Amino acid sequence: MKKYKAFSKVNVFLKISGKRGNYHEIVSRFMRVNDLFDELSFVSKEKVGTNSNEFGIIGDFACKTEENTIYKAYKALKSATNSEALEKLMQTHAVMVEKNIPAFAGLGGGSSDAATYLKMCNEVLHLGLSLNELAAIGLQVGADVPFFIYGYASANVSGIGEVVEAYDEELLDFEVFTPDVKIATPKVYSAYRENFYEPIDGFATQKLKETPSKEILQSMSAKEANDLFAPALQEYKELKEHYRQGYFFSGSGSSFFKVKEKEA
């Protein structure tokens, strides 16, 4: 059965631009990490010895099926399409996930898996949904899902994740490391709102959106580039022990990254 790659991402910069109800509006540059990805495929339940009609996910996940982003993507897709073929597919097949992207890491693993699952279903079942329609369904699962639906190598992402604009630049090669610190994103955002809230203005936003990622990583510090780094350090003191000079912080963490040095 065909395998589909679900790539990870890093946030080259992540700035808060305002609030929308309980959500924070962001402006961020997402860039795909080419050498870190999960692989998804559909496998016949008969072949793997599961005859249950229930939704099946095979992979190294700590959460219950109902909490898994792939299952949430299935529910959102089912609700949007009322597809009988989708229901039938998931009664006879399970989703096999070869998991390489660490969880709770700021690398978008769960969002990428959800986006990849939606695209797989669209292709296999000939649902005929456009990328915009898939992105709208994906947004119900998580704010980062639309970026992975569109499949851009680099993009400016704003709003609560629903505005994804391709950014034309060379794809950088990243060195990524994820310390064993499980970070709860809502906790970091809450600390940001209480103690660090200082939204970026429109002029600064526009300048960042126009600046190449390489330039941003050469001219900003980790704290300047990511508004969530300071609140994450406040809430998870052990992060400080893992921080290395020259590295940047992705999402709400706990992953750090830097551009790989070119070999001479």
* Binding-site entries for ATP: 102-112
Phi, psi of 234 (to 5 degrees): -65, -45
Q: Rounded to the nearest 5 degrees, what angle is found at the Cα of 7, between the Cα atoms of 97 and 82?
A: 60
Q: How many CB atoms lie within 10 A of CB 67?
A: 11
DSSP letters spanning 44-100 = ETTTTT---SS--EES--SS-GGGSHHHHHHHHHHHHH--HHHHHHHHHEEEEEE--
Q: What one-letter code names the amino acid at 237?
A: K
Query: Is 13:22 a contact under the CB 8 Å cutoff?
Result: no
Half-sphere exposure of 64 (CA within 13 A, CB side): 2
Q: Are 113 and 103 in contact (CB under 8 A)?
A: no
Catalytic residue check, 260: no
Rounded Cα distance, 175 and 151, in Å: 21
Cβ neighbors of 245 (< 8 A, separation 6 or more) are none
- Which of 72, 144, 227, 258 is the catalytic position? 144
Residue 180 falls in the annotated catalytic set: no
**Contact (Cβ atoms closer than 8 angstroms) between residue 242 and residue 256:** yes
Residue type, 98: E
Residue 206 to residue 20: CA distance in whole angstroms: 20
Catalytic sites, residue numbers: 9, 144
